[in-house]
Chain A
Amino acid sequence: MNLATAAQSSIGRKLISGLTGLLLVGFVIGHLTGNFLLLAGPEAFNNYAYFLEHLFHGAGLIIAEIGLIVLFLSHAWSGFQVWNNKWNARKKNYEVPGDAGGKSKKSVSSTTMLWSGVLLLAFVVWHVAQFKFGIIDTGNRAVMVDGVEMRNLYGIVVDTFAQPLWTGIYVIIMVMLGFHLWHGAWSAFQSMGLANDLYLPTITKVAHFLSIVLAVGFVALPTSIFVFSNHFKAESDKYMQQYGTNETSGDMIYRTVSGLMSAEKGA
Chain B
Amino acid sequence: MSSTSNAMKFTLRIWRQKGPKDSGKLVDYKVDDIIPEMSFLEMLDVLNEKLAAEGKDPVAFDSDCREGICGTCGLVINGIAHGPLAGTTTCGLRMRHFRSGDVITIEPFRADSFPIIKDLVVDRTAFDRIVQAGGYVSFNTGSAPDANSVLVSKDASHDSMDAATCIGCGACVAACPNASAHLFTGAKVYQFAKIPQGQPERDQRVLNMITTHDKEGFGDCSNHGECEAVCPKQINIKTIAQMRRDYLVASLRT
A contacts, CB < 8 Å to B: 1, 3, 6, 9-15, 81-82, 85-86, 88-106, 110-111, 113, 183, 187, 190-197, 200
Nearest opposing residue in chain B for A7, CB measure: B251
B158 interface contact, C-beta 8 A? no
A91 near B112 with CB under 8 A, answer: yes
- Give 15 CB contacts A-B under 8 Å: A3-B252, A10-B214, A15-B244, A15-B248, A94-B110, A96-B107, A98-B80, A100-B81, A106-B177, A110-B222, A110-B224, A183-B223, A187-B222, A193-B247, A194-B245
A10 near B220 with CB under 8 A, answer: yes
Which has the most chain B C-beta neighbours within 10 Å: A15, A101, A187, A193?
Answer: A193
Nearest opposing residue in chain B for A10, CB measure: B220
Assembly CA distance A50 to B214 (angstroms): 49
Which has the most chain A C-beta neighbours within 10 Å: B110, B225, B238, B246?
Answer: B225
Q: A103-B228, A196-B238 are in contact. Are A89 and B223 (CB under 8 A)?
A: no
B220 near A102 with CB under 8 A, answer: no
Q: Mark B215-243, 1 if CB is under 8 A from A, else 0.
A: 00111111111101110001011101111
Nearest opposing residue in chain A for B15, CB measure: A95
**Interfacial chain A residues near B236, Cβ < 8 Å:** 197
A86 near B179 with CB under 8 A, answer: yes
Q: Which residues 74-133 in B have Cβ within 8 Å of A in the complex? A: 76, 78-81, 86, 105, 107, 110-113
B26 interface contact, C-beta 8 A? yes
B221 near A14 with CB under 8 A, answer: yes
Which has the most chain B C-beta neighbours within 10 Å: A3, A10, A190?
Answer: A10
**Interfacial chain B residues near A91, Cβ < 8 Å:** 112
B182 near A82 with CB under 8 A, answer: no
Nearest opposing residue in chain A for B182, CB measure: A10
A86 to chain B, nearest CB (A): 4
A23 to chain B, nearest CB (A): 16
Assembly CA distance A10 to B244 (angstroms): 10
B202 interface contact, C-beta 8 A? no
Majority SS at the chain B contact face? mixed
| Contact pick for B238, options A95, A111, A195, CB 8 Å | A195
A200 to chain B, nearest CB (A): 7
A193 near B241 with CB under 8 A, answer: yes
B98 to chain A, nearest CB (A): 14
4 A-B pairs closest in CB distance: A98-B79, A193-B245, A89-B219, A105-B225
Q: Which residues 52-93 in B have Cβ within 8 Å of A in the complex? A: 76, 78-81, 86
Assembly CA distance A99 to B175 (angstroms): 8
A107 to chain B, nearest CB (A): 8
Question: Interface stretch among B32-40, B140-148, B149-157, B205-213?
Answer: B205-213
A197 near B238 with CB under 8 A, answer: yes
Q: A10-B221, A11-B247 are in contact. Are A90 and B110 (CB under 8 A)?
A: yes
B251 near A89 with CB under 8 A, answer: no
